[in-house]
Structure 1
Amino acid sequence: LRSSCTFYPSSFVKGDYIYWSDWERRSLSRAKKRDGSDRIVLHENIPDLMGIKAAYPKRISNVSNGCAVKNGGCSHLCLYRPLGLVCMCPVGWELDANGETCIIPEAFLMFTQRDIVRVSLSSEPRGLRDNGVEELIVHADPSSANGGNISERQALKHAPRDILRVSLSSFPTNLDSLRLHNVSQPLALDFHYKSNRIYWTGSEGTTGTICRAYLNGSNMELILTAGLEYMEGIAIDWLAENLYWSDSGHLHIEMSKLDGKSRRIIVWKNTNPRALVVHPAEGYLYWADWLDPPTLQRSELDGRNRITLLKDVGRIFALTLDYSSNRLYWSEVDAPSIQSVDLNGGSRRFVVQEPNMKPTVLTEFGDFLYWANWRKQSIEISDKATGLNRSTLHLDLHFIINLIAVHALKQRGWNHCATRRNYCEHLCIFMPDRSHKTPYRCSCPSHYALSSDKRSCTAPKKFILFSQHSTVRRMKVKERQDMEEYPIVEDVRLSHVDLEQAFDIALDPYSQTLFWTCELTNSVNATRLLAGEVRPVGTIIANAQYKPRSLAIYPKK
């Protein structure tokens, strides 16, 4: 068989025959195992053929193990090992104290990690972003100061491109992951308990992304790609079912519905936003701002009535909110401490403070505060009111950059948007002023105006469209009849394909269809521009013989 086979990655023997897969010939074959005679091709034209194994129609007699009888007593998976059987659970479950029954943990932590990097400090580190994640990595690795001839960033250890979880229901805690596939390194996290989903920010090349999946890692969706750069914060209003994120690349805060539709920029003036949290029951948004000097900011849930809550703070790296006691907790890039204030910025106190600690991300649940200590590469725990009773929850976890506690009690409460959100065509905003007869208002995607019925939205009639790389941007000039402020420029997504570049564009104003040529794929494409949503129509022309560039249309009703 040696001379007649090209490349066979797998084989097995059954009876008098040997069976093998041929990767280059894309075939399954069989021959006598003694001399290679009686060779036949069983099947052809199977691309990417690799492993092969036989499934026997009859049970092999006189062979058994502990898992063969009642699944070894395991509720889910039974695995037999040389030292005996062990029960295992699916992702998102854990073993009960009896070692046999799989249960869904009541509470757990979810977190993401960052690559460990080394940069040269002998010259200006041009490859270093102006953000706390990169800077803390440099500070945590003293040997990086002796970078010598290292002129570029070098990854010393790659973090998993996944979201990890640690149970709070069992001890010792079990470390698991969602086993996400084909995702970039997750950055910021939040969850929506009612829909059993996790949301996270990431990047695809030079473009930022927002994704979601179920808490067991299944059904991953890419919900936002356009007009995103570096999202260091994400937060969910679980009552109105709105999504918020900060973009330190574009220097603004945006919101949308949970599916990514109805996008609206709500904070864009004089801001460099980082970590953020929402308090849906109170109607407030809180965020860390890294403008010089850094501050802690607060606004209503649509960005109105913005105030500076705290001025004498450092660069806040992580921010979490205790909804039961209505207190904010945070850690700073430059301070070895965890501090806390009430919702109005009063009653400030140090919760945890010591010279040798390096708290980064943090979260709270129940009576406890959890944080990642980069110096010890661990998750630590203490009483959240006093900072006492400190202990280590889990070790050997390097450079955790986001940490959240997941439990139903973290997303309780009620406001009018919990029952009236479908009354609004797009976004329902709960107002903290309870004196209003209806303490909520409807809001629209950026550049759309609220109609006279106070619930539907009207598209802009006068604007300019221009293309930049893979994004088309809309510029709207403020008109006399406009009643509210809005950002002049808004992004419009063209495609999920990163490499597509819009060379020229044309708009049909009647159908709100955007036509655009792509110089990389030599194609003409169409996209519908809907309120707060972009819906790809498809490719109209894609032929190697043509190279469409400039474009014009003749619109008709």
Structure 2
Amino acid sequence: MGHLGRIVLLLAPHFWLHIRGAAAHSLPACNQQLEFRCNDGSCVSRLNACDGHVHCADGSDEHHCGHSRCGKDEFTCRSRRCLSTNLLCNAVDDCGDGSDEVSCNNCSTGTFSCGPTEACLLANKICDGQNDCKDGRDEAWVLCGSVQASPQSSSACAASEFQCGDGACIRHAWRCDHSPDCPDGSDEENCDISDQDECRDNNGGCSHYCLDKPIGFLCRCPDDMKLVEDSRCEEVDVCLDSDLCDQLCIHRNGSLTCECQEGYHMDPLTRECKAKGNEAQLVFSSSKGIQVKNLINTEYKVLVPHLPGPGPVAVLASNLTVYWAQQGRGSIYRTSAAENPKEAVLVLKVQGLVSGLAVDWIHQLLYWTSVEAGSINAALLDGSLQRQLITGLDRPSAVAVDPLQGFLFWAQCGNTPKIERVNQDGHDRMALVTGLIRQPVALSLDMPRRLLYWFDQGMRSISRINMEGQHRKIVVESNGYLDRMFGLAVFEGFLYWGDEATHSICRANKLNGRNLQVLMSNVTLSGDMVIVHSVLQPKGASACGRPETVCQHECVVDLMSERSQFNCDSQQTTPNQPQIPSISRSVPPSTLSDPTFAGILCLIIFLSMLLVGMASWWWREELRPSRSFTLQSFSFKESQNPLITQGPPVDPNTTLVKETLIRPDLDCVAAPTVS
């Protein structure tokens, strides 16, 4: 038996290498475009390869990186190219692979980034002869040319606007209209020149045709377009202009046909689209707690009483889970409307005052706006992971999400009020509403018509646009029940909202604001409201963070990366393919989810224990009387976090950088949004 033991010990290393090699071949393939495969088979982000820090356990991500390293004042591109740090975050892809713009501040339209660690700069500070960025990039020759512009020539006005002598911006069409619109009256200067042709200067700011007149000018549009905001032409949409249909509108041979989306049926008498299934519920927060009301009758119940104060509300319709935030506190709770007794569960402790909540029912994410931090944030619905998505906002007040199209919407009501849209993966940020807007404090989506509604506290009106920012229309204006709104929702053919001034919950026709009805009176100190029905959160194929992209297999959501990432687990994507992607389960570095590899790993452990046991038995057989032993068994537990993909280990000493808090404007967040 002693010879047999020696043979086993001699063959064990070769057997172990063979098994290890087989296991390496069974590892799941890394994404070649996004990941680097270490020599031990694990995957790390390609951004971490050859960055001077070891991320692979075996250090292979820093091997074969070449002898040359970028200098102290240089940035290493993903392609290993060295780039001057002055070219970082200048909104230009200097690396050629976009890596020099990945970690930059998300500066809004009309602003300029001074770099990854500096604030955004107003556009009128660019090329004004003064260095406002620490590295002087705002006055660089490549940006400003050989001759530096004067402060007056550095215009922050849009192409359709005229810049006054004091820098203010007004519409071009207001120039020389015999009515001073600039604070300094400069728009009415030099208007007596008979041969002056304003159309020669940037086409008068007109998007299409400019018609010069003896005094002033006019913008004109082609026959199939209409003029909006005095200078911009947009295509005519017969369906939206007529506003005859609740949902689907078909324009054919000069006539319109109305139809209903799946999940609805058309009322034969009123021709309105009605939701199938259970009756819709109205959920709202008030000083009495979280309350639920049936839309058909006057019955209502209190889910969670004695809240410290009303706040924003969102609901996951599939299991009737209600999420809400405490007013003035950084806490987000949840409760179930389908279970008894109702218990409030703390989900998240967050930074600052929460002004809006929204639920992504496809990817199981929770979005909220933080006033003090000036950010839009996301977290898993169980609260296990949270992160900032968009920063640098001026008092964000509302958020809404359409995961079927891959869009995230938000409103801000600070010094530059606006409504913006971005893909859920953080790309293609777009300003939808920037003019004729004062204090947007509530958003809601009409998904069948692909419209976005908002309430403007300053203008006391509810307006809508399509998801591209076109076909704007004021639907409801101040009517005695629209002075201080809390909550906004769209369901079937109606707009629903609450009015804190009259302590009521109302509704009106979503097409024209008619048929005003008061559904509830004496609602005390309400904070937010949302309508719950399965048709408002339909099942479907996720856009996987970006429009026109549907995964063939799984949509993987990663909140741990530098930017929120939505990726297909296959390199191939198919636009508009009717498949429902699933969310991949997370796998920490110490756990492997591939079934084949798991089996091999168990076999390796079993054989290793067997070899150790045989060696121990042989040794004891040689030196002392034999003793029995017990072979221990091992089990591997799969991670319960469904949205985090495998990534490099997180340094436990790393801390999140907190932004400077500002004193919140309560008027800005008095009417939170609804998802």
Q: TM-score, normalized by length of structure 2?
A: 0.41
Q: TM-score, normalized by length of structure 1?
A: 0.50
Answer 1 or 2: which has greater helix percent.
2
Q: Which has the higher contact order (CA 8 A, sep 6+)?
A: 2
Of structures 1 and 2, the larger Rg is shown by 2
